Amino acid sequence: MVRKKKLLAALAGETQAVPPIWMMRQAGRYLPEYRATRAQAGDFLSLCYTPDLATEVTLQPIRRYGFDAAILFADILLVPQALGADLWFAAGEGPRLSTVTTPADFDRLSGPDDIHDHLAPVYETVRILSRELPPETALIGFAGAPWTVATYMIAGRGTPDQGPAHALKAENRPLFDALIDRITAATIEYLSKQAGAGAEVIKIFDSWAGSLTGEDFDRYALAPATRIVAELKRRHPGLPIIAFPREAGERYIGFARATGADCVALDNSVSPDWAAANIQTDGCVQGNLAPSYLVTGGSALIEQTRAIVRAFSNGPHIFNLGHGITPDANPDNVGLMIEAVREGAG
Ligand code: CP3
């Protein structure tokens, strides 16, 4: 009998004694082998667009730790670039993009169906990975959610409070809505190609969902996610989808039901016991160890890992962090975390 991959079983609603494990940013700078391949690529974007090297860094954490899932190595900002924005990574400063703040800027963007030549190397990476991964490892494709992607396109960089995006929304609502609509349509085409190339699960990263409140949350976090999920499931029946409305707080409640997502990923501001009682009742949840424990390690890491496993042990759960692992994390602590999950809630 062929057993279902652990990640897919959790997403299908199965409660497992030992939850599947993977980590956001599991291919990243905390790993010496990642830093070596990135140096070989020359820069971050070349790494993203060279299928053999992107495949290599995707596989590195699987080889080292045997995670239950691999996540495609790419970035949420490849979609704006495919739509025509300039994109570069200033060393030590994070991403920089040309901005979209006027109707003329918007009119220069390409259409949602015109992104595929630019993104072809990403689809090729997915195809290679789907051949090369161990049979028990699930392959996750991903994109940024429209609001989060829009915050970078409008500001031209990361911002602490997403101020420029909120300002455009207030000053020129039709332009803001048109941008969200364009990103949503492009994201559907992008993710659909990833699924066609072999991605078995899709994750939508709304890293800045927490700065949307009230009706704005409904319009710009819930509604675009709902549209993406519905269209992907229409084109790829049964495709499981993880939504990550980071720092949504109380708005995590009902998010999976409202959007049709199979799982919500929880950030580490949410208490596991509260989430088990209020969110896991709707189905699978993913999360939510604070990444800082992988820097500090020790008994606090073991205890918090066990507490999370225990809190979610009565329903479907995917063990993960509440946000991406940081470059200063100790790779040995990742091993300790995995041991603590796999030995059970003890
Ligand atoms: O999780 C994975 O291992 C898959 C690959 C992945 C990356 N970025 C690689 C990356 C994924 C899923 C992302 C998502 C992403 N990218 C998000 C959403 C998730 C989140 O973290 O909130 C966002 C907001 C981005 C945009 C982005 N990319 C920023 C702000 C930065 C700079 C900050 C930083 O950590 O340096 C990046 C760069 C980036 N994306 C790196 C990696 C491994 C580091 C680049 C390097 O190697 O120098």
pTM, two decimal places: 0.97
Residue 109: pLDDT above 50?
yes
29 assigned to active site: yes
312-330, pLDDT tens digit by residue?
999 999 999 999 999 999 9
At 344 the pLDDT is: 62
Residue 82 is assigned to a structural domain of this protein: yes
Domain count, the chain: 1
Residue 295: pLDDT above 60?
yes
At 166 the pLDDT is: 98
For residue 87 and ligand 1, the question of a CB distance below 6 A is answered with no
Residue 19 is assigned to a structural domain of this protein: yes
49 assigned to active site: no
Closest protein CA for atom 1 of ligand 1: 25
Query: Residue 104 class from Cβ within 10 Å (0-12 exposed, 13-18 middle, 19+ buried)?
Result: exposed
Assign 278 to helix, strand or coil: helix
Residue 276 is assigned to a structural domain of this protein: yes
Pocket test for ligand 1, best of 50, 76, 162 (most atoms within 8 A of CB): 76
188-223, pLDDT tens digit by residue?
999 999 999 999 999 999 999 999 999 999 999 999
The mean predicted confidence, pLDDT, of the chain is 97
At 345 the pLDDT is: 46
pLDDT exceeding 90 applies to what percent of the chain?
Answer: 97
pLDDT band per the 50, 70, 90 thresholds, residue 92: confident
Token code pair at residue 35: 């830093």
29-38, pLDDT tens digit by residue?
999 999 999 9
| Domain harbouring 214, CATH code | 3.20.20.210
- Is-cis flag, bond preceding 288, omega within 30? yes
38 assigned to active site: yes
- Measured at the alpha carbon of residue 58, what is the angle toward residues 196 and 180, in degrees to the nearest 5? 55
Residue 1 is assigned to a structural domain of this protein: no
pLDDT band per the 50, 70, 90 thresholds, residue 27: very high
At 2 the pLDDT is: 59
Residue 172 is assigned to a structural domain of this protein: yes
Residue 161 is assigned to a structural domain of this protein: yes
Rounded distance, CA 127 to CA 120, Å? 11
At 156 the pLDDT is: 98
Residue 182 is assigned to a structural domain of this protein: yes
The distance of Cα 73 from the centroid of its chain, to the nearest Å, equals: 11
At 305 the pLDDT is: 98
Residue 104 is assigned to a structural domain of this protein: yes
Assign 264 to helix, strand or coil: strand
Query: Domain residues for 217?
Result: 6-344
pLDDT band per the 50, 70, 90 thresholds, residue 154: very high
Assign 255 to helix, strand or coil: helix
At 3 the pLDDT is: 73
